[in-house]
Amino acid sequence: MSGGRNMFGSPVDFSFRELNTVSDMLSDEPNPGARPLKRDSEQKILSATLRLNNNFLSDLTGLMDTLSALYAEPTRLAWLDLSFNEFQHIHPVLTELKELRLLYLHGNRICKLSEVDKLAALPFLHTITLHGNPIVTEREYRYGRRSKVREMHKSGSRRVSKNDNSVIILHPYVIPNLYDFCATQKKKKERKTAHDRW
């Protein structure tokens, strides 16, 4: 097993690669960084960071298999950037990343605060960014609520404290035109359900 110090090499950056699935990483090359990526004797990457922001991802099916193919120690991923994609839900695979500490989800399509509660299974997670999601229009998000995710109090994000089960969100960023997004999605679903009944 690689030493802990070696795990924190340069970030693996697949941002702006027009990825539709996470497995697309296997047929692509990460963006070059200021420093070259560290690799082990099997040419697997030594890093604890993955940037997948600004792509076209809507789910994380196959994430662990893809990470296992690329990373020397995939379960030690500590920072995952999924911002500016098409996610509507928190995929269960994220709860397998037990070392995750920072999760960027801003600029997606998450509508329900209950989705974020799934992340309470991650013991070391301390920051989640959510601004730019339809979720920030929810009254419960804007004014605080009880949640399985522990206390977070950072502008535009949710920060976890081990000592409390409450959630405090201060001054979330709101992107114009997101207020009607959830309502529109709900109406579309209702119309589809009515159509299916006929």
Could you read off the pLDDT of 16-33 as tens digits, one per residue? 999 999 999 999 999 998
Mean pLDDT for all residues in the chain? 78
Q: For residue 150, how many other CB atoms are within 10 A of its CB? A: 18
Please report the pLDDT score of residue 191 as a whole number. 64
Give strand ranges (E) for 47-104: 49-51, 79-81, 102-104
DSSP 134-151: GGGGSHHHHH-EE-SS--
CB atoms within 10 A of CB 37: 16
What are 175's two structure tokens?
Answer: 């992107």
Domain residues for 57? 4-197
Nearest to 88 by CA among 167, 169, 153, 181: 181
CATH code where residue 57 lies? 3.80.10.10
What pLDDT is stored for residue 176 in this prediction?
34
Instruction: Measure CA 31 to chain center.
Output: 20
Interval 64-120: pLDDT, tens: 999 999 999 999 999 999 999 999 999 999 999 999 999 999 999 999 888 888 898
The reported pLDDT for the residue numbered 120 is 87
User: How many whole angstroms separate alpha carbon 39 and alpha carbon 4?
Assistant: 14
Unique residue bearing structure tokens 């690329």:
70
pTM for the full predicted model:
0.74
Number of domains present in the structure of the chain: 1
* Placement of tokens 């209702």 in the chain: 190
Residue 12 vs residues 15, 66, 166: alpha-carbon distances, Å? 9, 13, 34
Query: Is a pLDDT exceeding 90 seen at residue 144?
Result: no
Cα 9 → chain centroid: 21
Beta strand 157-159 pairing with 145-146: unpaired
164-194: burial string, b at 16+ Cβ within 10 Å, e else: eeebbbeebebeeebeebbeeeeeeeeeeee
Average pLDDT over residues 130-150: 67
